[in-house]
Amino acid sequence: MVWWNVYLLSFLTALVFALVLTPVCRQIALFFNVLDHPTVQEHKQHAKSTPLLGGMAICLSWILTIAIGIILSNTYLVGHHLDKSVAVNIGGIMKVSKELVFICGGAVLITLFGIYDDIHNMTAKTKFGGQIVVAILAVTWGGVKISMFISNPVFTWCISVLWIVVLMNAINFFDNMDGLAIGMAAIAFSLFAISAAVNVQYFVAVFGATMAGAAFGFWFFNSSPAQIFMGDSGSHLIGYNLAVLGCLVTYYNPELAPTKFSVLIPLFILAIPLFDLCAVVVIRWKLGKPFYIGDHNHISHRFQMMGLTKQNAVFVIHLMALAIGLGVLPLLWGNIQTTIVCLIQAAVILAIISILQYGVIKNKVAGK
């Protein structure tokens, strides 16, 4: 239970940092006129210009919490006064220090890249190129890899880079209503932290708990009506860290569960934004529009078209994400029967979302 106290402390530290730093970053955005103007792009729905740089607040909260943890882990206080179950594992930080540097470096780099994009509005090709570079950095030197029980290093490298790039774009697309993307991310980071804790991955769980704290803290200012947006800097950082954390967690533990289907857990934890990404890309393709041009065909907009307020649409999506994520966690320790039930339950929820999005709205448009 001592490690759970560490997770809680990490969460609370990042939460406090986010609550303090987000207003500061908002004032910086106002001072330097780093604002999201609703008149610039047709799909923008907010009523007035809103400060960006939310990604800076999230990144600083996360990095500062990690830095404090590393500093404390090397002090006399931690080494001699914490519980032995914690102190004995502190030295493990040095074993992963190289990977941690590259992972954190990638997070900072993609945040700065996003801030530049928020200010100068880069082309889609340039943005995509930057995403690939950061993904390669994390996979090649940060040790972020998806194996899927396949030993081919080329396949592992390619699928890992693709996973990171897809998640960055999925969250970027998903950030289309106040509090939507950051709320979903806060839920996902929490579920990843729990998954890592169940499999006794101490540092990975701290990673997740810290990002969850930063996300929840920023969510306070980003919920409707939003006082600050995360911008591309925040959506890229969130997507990057969700992808990294999804890779770092060990889902299959033969001592806990006999089935390997637990490796599907990250897909279901992130099912809603991934589902939304696939849906809007297909819709834009059918309409003959570039997939990177924003519109109002996202799941959140479709719920709004059904008559829900923006706040209720966001709340419903968060509940669905939580229901799917919690529903697949038993795969960590369940048998094949448990796995089948969990997967069917998640598939049913996604089917309900599809019917609500397309069936109900189609009938409404037809006047039925």
Among all chains, which residue has been given the structure tokens 């940060």?
142
State the pLDDT at residue 302. 87
pLDDT tens figures, 20-74: 999 999 999 999 999 988 765 555 555 578 999 999 999 999 999 999 988 887 7
pLDDT band at 343 (very low <50, low <70, confident <90, very high): confident
Is 362 exposed, middle or buried, given 0-12, 13-18 or 19+ CB atoms closer than 10 A? exposed
- Tell me if 301 sits within 8 A of 226, measured CB to CB: no
What is the C-alpha separation between 302 and 308, in angstroms, rounded?
Answer: 9
Average pLDDT of span 124-130 = 94
pLDDT for residue 237 is more than 80: yes
Distance of CA 68 to the CA centre of its chain: 23
The more confident residue out of 255 and 129 is 129
- pLDDT tens sequence across 193-230: 999 998 889 899 999 999 999 999 999 999 989 999 99
* In the chain, % of residues over pLDDT 70: 89
Cα separation, 115 vs 109, in Å, equals 10
Helix, strand or coil, per DSSP, at residue 50: strand
Q: Quick one: average pLDDT of 120-126? A: 91
Is residue 191 pLDDT above 60, yes or no?
Answer: yes
Angle (nearest 5°) at CA 354 between 175 and 337: 105
How far is residue 114's CA from residue 261's CA, in Å, rounded to a whole number?
Answer: 35
What is the Cα–Cα distance from 32 to 156, expressed in whole angstroms?
Answer: 42
User: So what's the pLDDT on residue 86?
Assistant: 64
Tell me the backbone φ, ψ of residue 51, rounded to 5 degrees.
-60, 145
Q: Could you tell me which of 176, 178, 242 has the C-alpha nearest to residue 214?
A: 242
The DSSP string of 23-39 is: HHHHHHHHHTT-EE-TT
As a whole number of angstroms, the longest Cα–Cα distance in the chain is: 71
Extract the tokens encoding 77: 């206080």
Rounded mean pLDDT of the chain? Answer: 88
What is the band of 368 on the pLDDT scale with cuts at 50, 70, 90?
A: very low
Q: Give the DSSP per-residue string, 305-368.
A: HTT--HHHHHHHHHHHHHHHHHHHGGGGT--HHHHHHHHHHHHHHHHHHHIIIIIIHHHHHHT-
The predicted model gives 273-300 an average pLDDT of 87
